[in-house]
Every structure is written in C-alpha cells, then in structure tokens.
Amino acid sequence: MSGPFTILGGGVCGLTMAAELSSRGARVTVIDPKGAPGGHACSWWAGGMLAPDCEGVSAEPEIVRQGRKAAGWWESQGAAVHHAGTLVVALNRDQSDLATFARRAPRAATLTKAQIAEQEPHLAERYSKALFLADEGHLDPRATLTALHARLAHRGVHFGGDIAGQVIDCRGLVARDTLTDLRGVKGEMLVVRCPDVRLSRPVRLLHPRFPLYIVPRGDGVFMLGATQIETGERSRATLRSVMELMNAAYALHPAFGEAELLEIGVDARPAFPDNQPRIRRIGDVIYANGLFRHGFLLAPALAQMTVDLVLEGKKPEVWYEDYRER
C-alpha cells in the first residue's frame, strides 16, 4: 500500500481525489474542518450537469475532451448518473442564438416540434425547435457527495486526524491564501417545487442577458441556475439575481409562476484566469483547483491526472505547473 496522502478539503475535488487514490491502493486521510459534505462547500450548490458539449460552446476543447470521462467515472464510484441528454431552447426572438449554439456544438441534433413532444411533452406547446445533446448526463451533487463520503469511509479512507505524507490541497476558493491568481465567480441558484411541469432532463434556455438551466431532481423539484458574477463573495443572493432566475424560469414555462420556492443558494466557484483547472506543485504541496463551473465535470479527470503524478510520476498532459522547476 502506497502513501500516506493527506487531502485538504472534502468538496468534489477532495473526494474525487480520495476516491482515485484509495481505489489504486493508497492510504488516504481527508481533512476538512467542516466535516461531511454540506453547504460550506461550493460543490453543494452545483447543478450536477455533466454537459461537455454544452460547455464547449464557450469553453476550451480540452474541457470538452476531459469532461467526456466524467459520467463513466462517477458511475464507477456508484453514483446514479442520468443519461437523458440536454435540451436547449430559445424564445422566438432569440432564435439566432439557437443557430449560433448549434454551430458551436457539432453534436447537437435539431428537434422539430413533434420530436420535442416525444422528449419533453410539457415544452412542445411553447417551442417549435430545440437542440438535443444526447450524450450528456446529470447527477444529484448532494446525494452523490454524501454517498461518496460514506463509500470512502467504508473503503478505509480516514476523515480527520493529523497531516501525514504527501499533502494534496483541494480547499477550493479558500486556497486563495496561496494560489494568488485564483478568483471567485459567484453563482446563485434556486430550488423550487413545481409539480405542474414535468421535465426528464436538464433544459437550457438561451437568453442574451439571463441564460438559465433547469435540472430536474425528481418529485416535481427543480434546481434553477445559475448566475455568473465576477466576485469572490460566497453569500448574499441579491434580489436582482433571484428575480432574473425566476423570470427566466417563467419565460421557459409560465407554470413556474406557481412554483414553491424551496431554497436560495449561493457560493463562488474557484477559477484561474483562463477558467481552466490546474495541478500545481509549490514546494512539497500539490494543489488541485480552479474547477470553475466544471466541478463534477472535470474533477474526475483532474483527480486521475494528479494521482498518475503522485503514484507513477507521470506528468499530467494538461493543466500542470511545477513551481519547483522554475
């Protein structure tokens, strides 16, 4: 058995790292002063979309390539991944945005009204055209992290205790104390109950000012997200943001006007200047960070590359910076 390794942080980055290390036989301790996964971690507020093609419309090709590994990795760890794809729609006045999106997402299929009716009957009355990304999936971040935490404990990963061996820092935005180019990008989200609308998959509404995604959580519950504001503020959802999210949901389908508001959430995503993650070695510590809006999408690839490095000395193909070599 190799190790020991100490992982600082028990968000999606830290837990995927612990899973990858322990599944390859290493001794692992995870230290997080807040204990089990919860609202203290940015990961708790995520939509849980595993949507590399949609993200590729505005993100680097590397993010798409690495993100394609995510669904299979999560399933290998026992997570329930829904393989229902993503539907993308736009209001009539924004149809040119749909055409632009289609050009940038080569795997997107165009659906007619009849095909929308087959996939999402509740949207067929309102949209005559949509894009469908069949290969995408989604998971429930809270259930997934809670189950992974329990699975790791069962597998012999220690939670709490003293630092020993190689330290891998996965503290998310808190690591700004060392990673001076790490910034926060605030995201606000809502959870609502709306039994009058049924959706089987994440739906994205393109909008020039208030793009929205809605992720079904089952039992009429939906996650609505998310704002993207350049500030490291980790609390304080504003009236404007909440209003915009609600307006966008209402625009997607007016039945959301009758939804019950269950939760307003907010946190800041840890991001480097190019919005791509990094594995960075500074002194004796390895930092894995900068997951930005791709926590569940890229944490598996980031963990695999980091573990290849610490167990096999294999340099990561991307996103690697060694400050000892400079």
Ligand X SMILES: Cc1cc2nc3c(=O)[nH]c(=O)nc-3n(C[C@H](O)[C@H](O)[C@H](O)COP(=O)(O)OP(=O)(O)OC[C@H]3O[C@@H](n4cnc5c(N)ncnc54)[C@H](O)[C@@H]3O)c2cc1C
Binding positions for ligand X, rule: CB under 6 A: 8-14, 31-34, 40-43, 45-49, 170-172, 174, 187, 189, 225-226, 267, 269-270, 289, 291-297
* Residue nearer to ligand X on the CB measure, 9 or 216: 9
Nearest distance from C-beta of residue 74 to ligand X, angstroms = 11
135 burial (CB, 10 Å; 0-12 / 13-18 / 19+) is middle
* Residue nearer to ligand X on the CB measure, 33 or 195: 33
State the Cα–Cα distance between residues 119 and 113, nearest whole angstrom: 10
* Residue nearer to ligand X on the CB measure, 124 or 140: 140
State the Cα–Cα distance between residues 57 and 7, nearest whole angstrom: 33
* Residue nearer to ligand X on the CB measure, 171 or 253: 171
CA within 13 Å, CB half, 165: 16
Nearest distance from C-beta of residue 128 to ligand X, angstroms = 27
Neighbours of 39 (CB within 10 A): 14
Using Cβ positions, the residue closest to ligand X within the complex turns out to be 11
Nearest distance from C-beta of residue 45 to ligand X, angstroms = 4
Spell out the residues 6+ positions from residue 164 whose beta carbon is closer than 8 angstroms to its own: 4, 6, 29
State the Cα–Cα distance between residues 295 and 314, nearest whole angstrom: 23
In the three-class reduction of DSSP (H, G, I as helix; E, B as strand; rest coil), residue 9 is classed as coil
Nearest distance from C-beta of residue 9 to ligand X, angstroms = 3
Which DSSP state fits 87?
E
State the Cα–Cα distance between residues 316 and 177, nearest whole angstrom: 24
* Residue nearer to ligand X on the CB measure, 211 or 295: 295
295 neighbors 218 (Cβ within 8 angstroms): no
Nearest distance from C-beta of residue 124 to ligand X, angstroms = 25
Nearest distance from C-beta of residue 201 to ligand X, angstroms = 13
β-partners of residue 129 are 112
21 neighbors 182 (Cβ within 8 angstroms): no
Nearest distance from C-beta of residue 271 to ligand X, angstroms = 8
Nearest distance from C-beta of residue 193 to ligand X, angstroms = 18
289 neighbors 321 (Cβ within 8 angstroms): no
In degrees and rounded to multiples of 5, residue 21 shows phi and psi of -65, -50
* Residue nearer to ligand X on the CB measure, 50 or 124: 50
* Residue nearer to ligand X on the CB measure, 8 or 57: 8
Instruction: Dig out the tokens for 270 from the structure.
Output: 């840890």
* Residue nearer to ligand X on the CB measure, 9 or 101: 9
β-partners of residue 192 are 222, 261
Q: Which helix (H) or strand (E) holds 203?
A: strand 203-206
Nearest distance from C-beta of residue 46 to ligand X, angstroms = 3
* Residue nearer to ligand X on the CB measure, 253 or 294: 294
Closest by Cα among 300, 296, 292 to 276: 292
